[in-house]
Homo-oligomer: A and B are copies of this chain.
Amino acid sequence: MDLRRLRYFVAVAEARSIGKAAERLRMAQPPLSVQIRKLEAEIGAPLFRRGTRGMDLTEAGQALLSRASEALALAVDGAEAARAVAAGKRGRLSVGYMFVLANAILPRLIPELRRSVPGVDLEFAELSASTREARVLDRSVTVALCMPAINHPEIQVARIGAQRFMLAMPTSSPLARLGSVPMARLHGRPLIALPHPDHGPASSAVVPLLRRHQVVMPIASRVETVHSAMSLVLAGEGLAILPACAQLGAPRGIVFRPLRDATDSLDIAVCWRRDSQSPLIGTFIKCAEKAVARM
């Protein structure tokens, strides 16, 4: 059962004549006649009544015609759909994001995306620091908005911005009265530590910063998320050194201050599987850059 034969069959049925159909198909009449007879042999029954004034569908032919047309349309549609997906005009884009970035980026990113790729189904999913790598690798998200970038040989990264570290403390803290806090003033104070994803759960993202300034902060607690860190800060357990955008999700009672003489920052990056040839990734990066630029 060949699709070409079905196409020929439909053409002959519509033209009610082999000669006319051959003309429309830009081919000679005899080969078309042969193909029709082969189709009839394959079906095992005549599909046309041959009259002296042309061809006319038999009832068996009518039964075939409707389905053959549908099958043709589906095949064409399938090819077009595949092309559209490959061109990034349709398809699905699953966006993973870390929650710290949600308030800062998503409100600008989502409208931008809907405008840029209107035919695409968008999906958003929050990523935790511990699972983000796996979610990219198993393709359950197409791209991930991360801070910092994922470090993995199979995962490609595009840096789209950075966030300075700031000191987060209770409003009541004496340091809150300063416009910016000198690093030296942190010495000896308890730290709420977030692990750096590349250095294992017992690490902290700010170890290099503290070491460079020869500041020692005893670790009061280790937490997984920026929001947990802020909760503990509010509870008076210690101070936290967090990326600036965390302010947007900070509860009342917490203030952020810049660190004097410290320009360290965390990269904001788009991360995706190196072998994911989705054409949507390029567009996504552009949108994300725009969103970050207006932050």
Contact = CB atoms under 8 A, between A and B. Distances in A.
Given A6-B75, A45-B83, A59-B278, 9 more contacts: A1-B75, A45-B85, A58-B86, A60-B85, A63-B78, A63-B82, A64-B82, A68-B74, A70-B71
A295 interface: no
Contact of A85 (B3, B63, B82): B63
A58 B70 CA distance: 25
Contact of A75 (B3, B46, B76, B81): B3
Contacts of A75: 1, 3, 6, 67-68, 71
Interface in A265-281: 275, 277-278
A43 B82 contact: yes
What secondary structure prevails in chain A residues at the interface with B? helix
A174 B61 CA distance: 61
Contacts of A44: 83, 86
A86 B59 CA distance: 8
Query: Chain copies in the assembly?
Result: 2
A2 interface: yes
A46 to B, nearest CB: 7
Interface in A217-238: none
A43 B83 contact: yes
A67 to B, nearest CB: 3
Interface string A127-143: 00000000000000000
Contact of A67 (B2, B4, B77): B77
Nearest to A73: B71
A277 B46 contact: yes
Contacts of A78: 6, 63-64, 66-68, 71
**A-B residue pairs, 3 tightest by C-beta:** A45-B86, A67-B78, A3-B3
A90 interface: yes
Interface string A5-19: 010000000000000
A1 B78 CA distance: 10
